[in-house]
């Protein structure tokens, strides 16, 4: 790991010793610099859960990645900087079915600092920009929305405020896992018709007070307003426009030809 190259990738010059302020800066810079994207799946590539491969993709080739890649790289950075992060497994809530995905659906990390535990997640398209303290009922307005945490028994829920309502993004427990535990689900998300990553070509980048998202043949611009509101605008794209858009707005140049996709997700069969 060349930390100097990583810092350059996320528009930083350095990071001091482990502290809450340093963690906040690192987390924020990563989220605002590295897109959440699955474009390898739709351009003849494959996602490989090996740290050197992820480093080469995101840092050297200036790509983004799905949660396992982006949070995986962030996990490695935290380890190199002496934070001793823990790997947690989250289950993403489906907006349509309102059901939660399987174990290892989403990877997040936890860091203990200054007598508190902090949830870190740099790989969720509409997630937090700053680490959030693991405290039941904690509510916080960040630049990209209002979030809160709640716990039922041993299950935690990260929720986002949409207007006057709270919407759960994902659930998780504090059981600790390893990075390798997510390999099977990474394969699932590249092949299953029940995965959003298989059904839709996506690239989303958090902005200060906004988000820019490419999906299929659309560019979606989101502006966040105080209190949990947002204003969205959508522009249709042609096949010829997409490569230039990815390069100019997201800094991404693909090796293979992208096949734009935006199909309905097939719900998994009930047991």
**Residues with catalytic annotation?**
67, 106, 121
Continuous segment of H or E residues that includes residue 104 = none
Place of tokens 């790509």: 63
Sheet with 132-133, strands from edge to edge, namely 132-133, 116-120, 106-113, 86-92, 165-172, 155-162, 145-152, 139-142
What burial class does residue 68 get, using C-beta atoms within 10 Å of its C-beta: 0-12 exposed, 13-18 middle, 19+ buried?
A: buried
Q: In 10 A of CB 93, how many CB atoms?
A: 19
Beta strand pairing status for 86-92 and 106-113? antiparallel
Distance CA 210, CA 197 (A): 22
Continuous segment of H or E residues that includes residue 169 = strand 165-172
Distance CA 22, CA 268 (A): 41
**Nearest CA-CA partner of 218 in 206, 201, 230:** 201
């Amino acid at each position: 790991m060349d930390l100097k190259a990583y810092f350059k990738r996320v528009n930083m010059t350095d990071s001091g010793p482990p502290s809450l302020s340093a963690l906040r800066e690192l987390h924020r810079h990563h989220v605002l610099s590295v897109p959440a994207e699955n474009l390898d799946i739709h351009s003849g590539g494959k996602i490989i859960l090996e740290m050197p491969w992820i480093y080469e993709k995101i840092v050297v080739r200036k790509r983004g990645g799905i949660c396992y890649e982006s949070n995986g790289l962030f996990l490695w950075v935290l380890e190199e900087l002496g934070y001793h992060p823990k790997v947690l497994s989250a289950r993403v809530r489906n907006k349509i079915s309102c059901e939660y995905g399987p174990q290892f659906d989403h990877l997040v990390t936890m860091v203990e600092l200054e007598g508190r535990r902090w949830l870190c997640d740099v790989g969720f398209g509409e997630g937090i920009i700053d680490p959030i303290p693991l405290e039941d009922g904690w509510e916080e307005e960040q630049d990209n929305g209002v979030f809160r945490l709640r716990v039922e028994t041993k299950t935690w829920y990260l929720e986002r405020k949409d207007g006057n309502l709270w919407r759960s993004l994902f659930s998780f427990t504090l059981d600790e896992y390893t990075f390798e535990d997510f390999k099977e689900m990474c394969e699932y998300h590249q092949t299953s018709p029940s995965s959003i990553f298989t059904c839709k070509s996506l690239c989303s980048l958090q902005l200060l007070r906004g988000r820019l998202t490419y999906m299929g043949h659309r560019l979606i611009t989101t502006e966040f307003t105080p209190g949990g509101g947002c204003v969205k605008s959508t522009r249709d794209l042609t096949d010829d426009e997409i490569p230039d858009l990815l390069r100019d707005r997201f800094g991404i140049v693909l090796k293979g030809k992208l096949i734009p996709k935006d199909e309905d997700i097939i719900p998994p069969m009930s047991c």
